């Protein structure tokens, strides 16, 4: 018995060491990516990468919050986690929020590099992305579930984290933002929206009881209108850049 306990203790210690090592590697990797992106912007003469304007951060936060739309995810999240305990749900929320943040950071850091590799201009991507966001907004306003459908038996991380929270629209808006805003502002917006997403999902039961499903749906419609407005602005900006509109 003592031997078995000793083995379990050793296994737990080893597991903790592996997790710590993985976190260290992930942190070093993120630092390396940030350094690479900063070097790339500096080489291109875009030293505004570290510019910080609180009003720009608020605008970025609103755009990201609208496209992630965590409020609209609450009913689905509660339905898919109805059979687990509150502690398990809390742990799941932490994982979801962390994964959402990691995915957004990756899109923000590598988005411009992807465009350069594909030889796609930011105006072309903004135009196509604006159309995509407009379709997503119309889908949501019309009640279509083409971009939000999930199956009950699916793994919770797949439907909740992606595509419900982080989908094509998120990647689109992040690439456009990193091309037109300061990287520091964009990353700050990502952190803030991930934190708010965590809080909304963490207290999703209380929010659902307080607001009710009708209020949740109404808020989802409102965010869809905001997405449509941003989409129209993206399309208009592209047309102006091409000299088609003024």
* pLDDT score for 146: 46
* pLDDT score for 150: 44
* Whole-number percent of the chain with pLDDT over 90: 16
Rounded to an integer, the average pLDDT of 45-70 is 83
* pLDDT score for 224: 81
The whole-angstrom separation of Cα 149 and Cα 164 is 8
Give the residue, 149 or 232, on which the prediction is more confident.
232
* pLDDT score for 84: 80
Rounded to an integer, the average pLDDT of 21-39 is 57
Domain boundary assignment for the chain: 1-50, 51-241
Q: How does residue 114 score in pLDDT terms, banded at 50, 70 and 90?
A: confident
Q: Cβ of 189: how many Cβ atoms within 10 Å? A: 25
* pLDDT score for 148: 45
Please give the model's pTM, rounded to 2 decimal places: 0.72
Residue 208, classed as helix, strand or coil, is helix
CA–CA distances in Å: residue 35 to residues 28, 110, 155, 173, 222: 10, 12, 35, 22, 38
């Amino acid at each position: 018995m003592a031997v078995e306990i000793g083995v379990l203790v050793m296994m737990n210690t080893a597991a903790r060491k592996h997790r710590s090592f993985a976190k260290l590697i992930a942190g070093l990797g993120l630092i390396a990516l940030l350094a690479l992106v900063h070097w790339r912007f500096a080489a291109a003469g875009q030293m505004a990468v570290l510019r910080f304007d609180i009003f720009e951060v608020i605008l970025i936060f609103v755009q990201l919050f609208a496209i992630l739309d965590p409020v609209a995810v609450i009913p689905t999240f509660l339905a898919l986690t109805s059979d687990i305990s509150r502690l398990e749900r809390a742990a799941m929320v932490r994982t979801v929020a962390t994964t959402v943040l990691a995915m957004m950071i990756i899109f923000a850091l590598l988005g411009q590099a992807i465009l350069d590799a594909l030889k796609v201009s930011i105006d072309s991507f903004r135009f196509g992305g604006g159309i995509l966001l407009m379709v997503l907004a119309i889908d949501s306003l019309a009640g279509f579930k083409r971009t939000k459908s999930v199956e009950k038996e699916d793994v919770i991380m797949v439907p909740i984290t992606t595509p419900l929270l982080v989908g094509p629209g998120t990647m689109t808006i992040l690439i456009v933002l990193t091309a037109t805003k300061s990287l520091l502002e964009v990353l700050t917006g990502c952190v803030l929206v991930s934190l708010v997403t965590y809080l909304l999902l963490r207290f999703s039961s209380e929010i659902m009881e307080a607001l009710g499903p009708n209020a949740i749906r109404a808020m989802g419609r409102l965010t869809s209108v905001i997405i449509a407005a941003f989409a129209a602005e993206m399309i208009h900006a592209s047309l102006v850049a091409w000299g088609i509109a003024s």
